[in-house]
Structure 1
């Protein structure tokens, strides 16, 4: 079958191991289900897979793609939940120490067919296109959990989203404004800040710029490059919710500010199947839809990967077939 896969790990030149070609048809074990993929979105996790992060060398070749949407054999249109738990796990999937994602142990969604546990498919709302639905399972689910499960914030409060154009950031802007938060955003360029304003941000600022007032919560996916600003931006008793560190994982902790201002720093990883179901209902009810920066055929996957590697994104990159 046709697939986009990582042939081998390449830490220094990840695109060099990106391969578009044929892979064997997958087997469907008991308890699993085959989904004919209609659309799959690109995530930073796919670049980490190409680099060999979080995956053993003997697991290559690995089909890429953490999330997607498609059709089951009986014609049901579905959205994929990419967090796969260990056998017998009960409760929050993100807390399972043996959990895995598609592309880590199981082959991913950038292919004609993907095979996942039966519990990892959810009905696709009729109002969402396959391309829109393919954005939900990783970036949008991550943003939903950060905002509604982990932050403890309330509509009407002010939040700061660090970074204006990535998949999680654009989802936070859209979800936050739809839910009644006052949303402020930082961006490295006028173009990225304009994108955030077009998505509904109430105010935008240059990266590191002093804010008019401190905010109730900061949402971090950048890490080292923005951490000092995040610590300065949040008001006493406020919260910083962290789900990534794309610029590096080793910021200064600034412990004195942390304890003196009684700040909360909360980690957040992906989301649960129930949260994905709630997210789909939220989008169906409110009319919120993900911003798709580029929609490309899977055969042109290299262009999408290069754009993500270069930071040339304006929303989600989606591959269709």
Structure 2
């Protein structure tokens, strides 16, 4: 039975992935730092749910605490490591960039080093659609250049991709990076647009709509996302004998068992349409505060997820209206509003 070590299990995506793996009967160890970037009670509640499974154990510590991370990984002896923990949030990176260097660069290096020491069969690490930065050719495909990051958050994620590639090359460490596209759903973070919009609308407060709503996002439902990660765990990259062995469209490195995979819905939704879907589910019209574009933001993201389908046979497909309805159902239950 596979032993999976997941960083970020008290977080939004890590919680859902751990629950999925536990439901399959796998053994999971979680690792997370209970930072106060958002409500710690929400993180604690997620861990409490996971701890109801006898196959789940958790360590609460920071990624930057190398001794604590090493102790947890050494004690568990994982077959696979899935690294999801990070300092999240594009906008907060404008206020506190050092937090991103500490967690996303130093912390990720600690995880990669531990994976090398244990010679895990597969290291999987979260990246983001934000690494595509100023690129305008869409839908984004993994083989296109991504050298124009617009925020320190995106830059730290690209750094993790690069460190992962170097270790995969040097130590033959099979590594898969996945780039997320605007994930949403139950148990989401309070700093996410959907959470903020629903909370404000139900309390009669106006919502801030950037770029006057003329923004497009590839909204990906969290259950679809973690299903993609689960399937990628078994899609272990192998160093090619020659570059000619790499299939067209595959991001597999020519010199390492390393690839990057988009996980997105392969559809772009206009922000104003997203807001209207929320209003429709709630049966309430939002007070709209139209704003200019924020620094570091991009007008659109849109994934080409064909590589994910080639590797796993799976493609996210939850309709955004259905996903919003599931989030609101959870939010009302969790908040009592």
Same fold? TM cut 0.5:
no
TM bracket, shorter-chain basis: 0.3 to 0.5
Q: Which has the higher helix share?
A: 2
Q: Which has the higher strand share?
A: 1
The TM-score normalised by the length of structure 1 is 0.34
The TM-score normalised by the length of structure 2 is 0.33
